[in-house]
Structure 1
Amino acid sequence: MLMRHALTCTLVAGMIVGAGLLAGCSHEQPAGSRTMLRLDSAAVDLVAGTATEHDEARLLARAENELIRRCMAAQGQPYATELPRTESATDAVTRPDLASRRSVGYGLAAAYARTGGEDPLRAALPPGRQAGYDQALSGAGTRQRSVTIDGTTLGYDTDGCIATSRADLYGNLDRQAVLILVQQKARLRIDVAVRDDRRYRAAVTAWSGCMTATGHRFATPDDARSRLSEQFAQHGAGTALRQTEVAVAVADAKCAADSGLVSAAAEVARDFLSRLPDEILQHLPDAVDTRRVALDRAAALALPAQCTPAACHGADTHRQ
């Protein structure tokens, strides 16, 4: 997600993971009776990452930023509402975001160009005001809650402007945490299923041929990202390498569509949805309802106009 101060996701075994797909969180499907659940289009959008969900994710990110800005302003603190195009909340190997890739590629250059992850707004404040800024934004760090689904515990602060704004947008923090866990755990399992499916593997072969035809030789989409990451690690985020990243990422997205990789991934995902663990399926209706509430509230907000990619590229933000 595009905002700083990520919710902390911790495996019961103690492994800490980030706010993206929960790598390493896969478990065996629980035994017993299956949950009989009709998966409507909203549920499919939520866990399969469709184009509709991409658009909704952008709206929710903008709404959350605006609510945080208002909360911070009420306490006399600065906050940047623009979302810079340094990475995409919706881009994925099997769900490429072409608009984002045309602007910043995979987001690798921006990641390697960052120095220390320092919040520029906080750094610009006099030292005496930084503690007040931290507490206004994130709270005192002493009031926390957690929820656990399918073996993963998600902890989150309950005070500060980030927490207040999320509660306002999603109804309450517990419901938002359930939404995040359901979405991430389902997508992890779906992505594993997609990569293991013969339909997707055949599409990857076609993707590789398409990429070769454009002058970019990679065996898989993951190979493209990995090799570019190695280049950035060795040479830094120079202009030429940034341009190469964008070119490769755009070609990747186009070949993913032309080769059938995107459609194959979507087909496998739909086939796999009903085989998700009971615990995920049982929480799915509540997660869908929570997202609907948040989308309705986001649509009712008077949000600032979105900046262009060029303007956003240099904007400050808080990234989750």
Structure 2
Amino acid sequence: MHRWTLALLTAGLLATAATGCAGTTTAPGATGSGTPQAAGGPAETLRLAEQLLIKECMEKEGHKYWVEPPSPDDVSARFPYVVDDPAWARAHGYGTDLRREREAEVRRNANQRYFRSMPATTRAVLVSDLNGARPQGLSARLPNGMRVSHSDEGCQATAERQLYGDLQAWFRATRVTDSLAGMRVDLVTNDKRYKAAVEPWARCMRERTYNYPDPARARAAATLPETPWPHAEEVRLASAEAACALSSGLSSVAKSLDSEYRDRLGRGHPRETADLARLKREALPRARAIVARGD
């Protein structure tokens, strides 16, 4: 389940769906013609089944809807600590080329075009029918104490209820475990063992003429300015980062700490972790049947 804000409209019909300071909304997209096929294992089967159920629901409400393809990982999701894949770095640098491709795909997105073609009053109906009229009915308290909520109505909720059965348990499990992922990155990067491993990485980078104290600031240098670096320069920096991540041992330390904190956080929230695994496991046969049925 994607998290967006209404103003972005990055992939179609969007709506704010949380109270307080947090937001959770659904962002549909589009594929080509024909029946979608699941080719990425259980996770992709579940994702595709949910999209097909949303499509069925939205069409019953009188709307058009195109199944959204899977979104490629952002560089921060693929490499949360340090770029450590030299081949990927040589091809993509820090992934700004992939980000531009995604932005172009959004502009071409069939749901996006459909949404933009509608008058304002119809847009509001589309958003309500997808995400529910009010962010009420589902609630979860995150590990940081923040409470988030979402409508238990609308086609998104209907699809998840059909697929996972216990909608409240699914909402709580996904929101809590998503929150744990962000906490894990903070714990790793603030761990003294990670900070110690960054020092030889920084020395390696200096030997390659790049004076950055940690990978986060190297990435920011190439990707945050108003005038982005030329792609070739971005690739050189990312390639140096990847080479130093491997030769200095930072990559191994980061992966080890990530696994350690993943296990620790999971043990600290056993209910949500177990519920997420159980609900996915129980939903998979239903998802396979839905995908086999297709449109």
With the shorter chain as reference, the TM-score category is: 0.5 to 0.7
| Corresponding position of 1:145 | 138
RMSD: 4.5
Distance change in 2, residues 1:155/1:243 (3 Å): farther
Q: Which segment is superposed worse, 184-193 or 105-114?
A: 105-114
1:168-183 counterparts in 2 under 5 A? 168-183=162-177
* C-alpha contact 1:73 1:79 (8 A) present in aligned 2: yes
Any idea what SS the aligned residue of 1:302 has?
A: helix
| Corresponding position of 1:37 | none
- Tell me the amino acid that sits aligned with residue 68 of structure 1: I
Any idea what SS the aligned residue of 2:224 has?
A: helix
Could you tell me which of 77, 82, 98 is aligned with 2:63?
A: 77
* C-alpha contact 1:75 1:136 (8 A) present in aligned 2: yes
Off by >6 Å, runs of 4+ in structure 1 = 95-101, 110-115
Aligned-pair CA distance for 1:68: 2.0
Aligned-pair CA distance for 1:174: 1.0
* C-alpha contact 1:105 1:245 (8 A) present in aligned 2: no
Aligned-pair CA distance for 1:147: 2.0
Q: Which segment is superposed worse, 197-206 or 98-107?
A: 98-107
1:248-263 counterparts in 2 under 5 A? 252=241, 256=245, 259-263=248-252
1:22-171 counterparts in 2 under 5 A? 60-80=46-66, 81-83=68-70, 85=72, 87=74, 90-94=77-81, 105=95, 119-127=112-120, 129-141=122-134, 143-150=136-143, 151-171=145-165
Separation of aligned partners in 2, 1:177 and 1:75: 24
Question: Tell me, which stretches of 5 or more residues in structure 1 are unaligned?
Answer: 20-53, 306-320
Separation of aligned partners in 1, 2:154 and 2:128: 6
Distance change in 2, residues 1:199/1:152 (3 Å): same
Aligned-pair CA distance for 1:132: 3.0
| Corresponding position of 2:215 | 221
* C-alpha contact 1:179 1:290 (8 A) present in aligned 2: no
Tell whether 2:192 aligns with 1:198: yes
* C-alpha contact 1:2 1:61 (8 A) present in aligned 2: no
Larger radius of gyration: 2
Paired residue total: 261
Separation of aligned partners in 2, 1:63 and 1:84: 15
Distance change in 2, residues 1:89/1:223 (3 Å): closer
| Corresponding position of 1:50 | none
Measured against aligned partners, the alpha-carbon deviations of 1:230-261 in whole angstroms (never above 9, x if no partner) come to 31xx23x7xx6466556655765665456443
* C-alpha contact 1:182 1:283 (8 A) present in aligned 2: yes
Aligned-pair CA distance for 1:122: 0.7
Any idea what SS the aligned residue of 2:221 has?
A: helix
Overall identity of the aligned pairs, in %? 27
Distance change in 2, residues 1:205/1:242 (3 Å): same
Aligned-pair CA distance for 1:194: 1.3
Aligned-pair CA distance for 1:71: 2.3
* C-alpha contact 1:144 1:156 (8 A) present in aligned 2: yes
Q: Which segment is superposed worse, 167-176 or 87-96?
A: 87-96
Aligned-pair CA distance for 1:144: 3.0
TM-score of the superposed pair, with normalisation by structure 1: 0.60
Distance change in 2, residues 1:164/1:212 (3 Å): farther
Identify the structure with bigger relative contact order (alpha carbons < 8 Å, sequence gap 6+).
1
* C-alpha contact 1:86 1:110 (8 A) present in aligned 2: no
Separation of aligned partners in 1, 2:42 and 2:242: 20
Tell whether 2:279 aligns with 1:293: no
Measured against aligned partners, the alpha-carbon deviations of 1:186-223 in whole angstroms (never above 9, x if no partner) come to 33333233123233223333444555677765332211
Distance change in 2, residues 1:181/1:128 (3 Å): closer
Measured against aligned partners, the alpha-carbon deviations of 1:132-151 in whole angstroms (never above 9, x if no partner) come to 32232122226432122432
- Tell me the amino acid that sits aligned with residue 82 of structure 1: P
Q: Which segment is superposed worse, 276-285 or 71-80?
A: 276-285
Question: Tell me, which stretches of 5 or more residues in structure 2 are unaligned?
Answer: 5-13, 25-39
* C-alpha contact 1:105 1:250 (8 A) present in aligned 2: no
